[in-house]
Amino acid sequence: MNLTGKKAIVTGGSRGIGKAIVMELAAQGCSVVFTYQNSEEAAKQIEFEASKDDVKVLGFKANAASFQEAEKTIQFALENLGGVDILVNNAGITRDGLLLRMSEQDFDNVISANLKSVFNYTKAAIKPMMAQRYGKIVNIASVVAVIGNPGQANYVAAKAGVIGITKSNAKEFASRNINVNAVAPGFIATDMTAKLNDKQKESMLANIPIKREGKAEEVAKVVSFLCSSDADYITGQVISVDGGMAM
């Protein structure tokens, strides 16, 4: 894989899987604008660690749930990197709870951050990609989108939507040389899964044939492959990185 000279946008790149994706793309020679919502200090540190001679890595504070802020991010990337070749829609949140107790706000917020964000960034980035007749879009879904999970109706609905929009967009943009795929991580060690209690973690591990949590870097490698020319003939697919959890 070689992404020398490519220009990417990664949403939610300040921590966890998003940070690993930023670091991996930069290591492959790709310049990156990544967004975050709160983690200003962490963003500065990533800029410092990942930038090198021909690789610019820049953080940009933007709420992925806002279409206007998505447009501002694309503008920032066009001005500072000179184009957009790759878009990774990674930003996401959980607000878990059984449906009977789930508030309308927790449902709406999870749909906005995980699903509407994919619409926002794809719509904002697609014009420059279509004009240059080149683009790679990778959406981060989740294994639960296909198997369901009690206590996560909002999150599972959002991630199932991410798979749907991935397939529709793959069909819409294939003729413009734009590939759209999804990666579905399983149980990956990040701040998001650190919130689970021991019982929830044990029950997750019991369903993973490989018998361990995944690493953010293991997801990032697959994302980077899908962003490379090695994956030119792959579109509309959902690639699981889940230790065999869903098969």
Q: Which residues are catalytic?
A: 155
Give the torsion through C-alpha atoms of 129, 91, 62, 105, to 10 deg. 130
Please report how close the Cβ of residue 53 comes to ligand NAP at its closest, in angstroms: 26
| Cβ neighbours for 72, distance < 8 A, ≥ 6 positions apart | 60, 62
Please report how close the Cβ of residue 185 comes to ligand NAP at its closest, in angstroms: 4
Does residue number 243 form part of the binding site for ligand NAP (CB under 6 A)? no
Q: Pick out residues in 140-169 that bind ligand NAP (CB under 6 A).
A: 140, 142
Of residues 80, 172, 69, the one with CA closest to residue 129: 172
- CB of 28 or CB of 112, closer to ligand NAP: 112
Which DSSP string corresponds to 144-189? Answer: HHHH--TT-HHHHHHHHHHHHHHHHHHHHHGGGTEEEEEEEE-SB-
How buried is 47 (Cβ within 10 angstroms: 0-12 exposed, 13-18 middle, 19+ buried)?
middle
Q: Which of 39, 152, 169, 228 binds ligand NAP (CB under 6 A)?
A: 39
Q: Which of 31, 32, 36, 55 binds ligand NAP (CB under 6 A)?
A: 36
Q: Which one of 73-81, 86-94, 122-130, 228-236 is the stretch in contact with ligand NAP (CB under 6 A)?
A: 86-94
Structure tokens of 136?
A: 């790679």
Tell me if 180 sits within 8 A of 164, measured CB to CB: no
Structure tokens of 223?
A: 């994302």
Does residue number 65 form part of the binding site for ligand NAP (CB under 6 A)? yes
d(Cα 95, Cα 107) in Å, to the nearest integer? Answer: 8
- CB of 166 or CB of 190, closer to ligand NAP: 190
Q: Which of 2, 4, 38, 75 binds ligand NAP (CB under 6 A)?
A: 38
- CB of 16 or CB of 135, closer to ligand NAP: 16
Q: Which of 74, 187, 243, 245 binds ligand NAP (CB under 6 A)?
A: 187
Of residues 195, 158, 229, 155, the one with CA closest to residue 15: 195
- CB of 69 or CB of 85, closer to ligand NAP: 69
Does residue number 33 form part of the binding site for ligand NAP (CB under 6 A)? no
Cβ atoms < 10 Å from Cβ of 212: 10
Q: Pick out residues in 92-121 that bind ligand NAP (CB under 6 A).
A: 92-93, 113-114
Q: Which of 73, 190, 224, 240 binds ligand NAP (CB under 6 A)?
A: 190
Residues engaged in binding ligand NAP (CB under 6 A): 11-18, 35-39, 63-65, 90-93, 113-114, 140, 142, 185, 187-188, 190-193
